[in-house]
Amino acid sequence: MRKSLLYMSIVLFISITSCLSIQNTVIDVKPFEKPMKGKNYKILGEAKGQSSSFSLLWFIPVTPRHTRKEAIEDAISEKGGDNLIEVRVWRERQIWLLGRVDVLYVKGKVIRYID
């Protein structure tokens, strides 16, 4: 009896906490994110930034909405640069039984301007 209750509890827990669907959508591809301040710059390397939000029962916001600006700043600060070039932006939406997670990803090359 106890074993069957334990097994049923495990199955219920896994079914409640499992992801039902994941969708990826390309949003944008741009040559640069912020206006270029000059033509002289050094490429610091490729970086990835993200911003995410969670909605309980798919429509009740629990965290602040994800923003492109936050994802861009996350990527630029990873390498300590000034701007992001060759930018790719996409969104991942995870549908869970208890809610929805939206993650905005940004990837590109971080540059630092040379005076």
3-state secondary structure the chain: CHHHHHHHHHHHHHHHHCEEEEEEEEEEEEEECCCCCCCCEEEEEEEEEEEEEEEECCCEECCCCCCHHHHHHHHHHHHCCCEEEEEEEEEEEEEECCEEEEEEEEEEEEEEECC
Report the range of poorest mean pLDDT among 12-16, 44-48, 66-70.
12-16
Report the range of poorest mean pLDDT among 24-28, 49-53, 70-74.
24-28
- Among 13-17, 24-28, 38-42, 50-54, the range of highest mean pLDDT: 50-54
Looking at residue 97, its pLDDT comes to 82
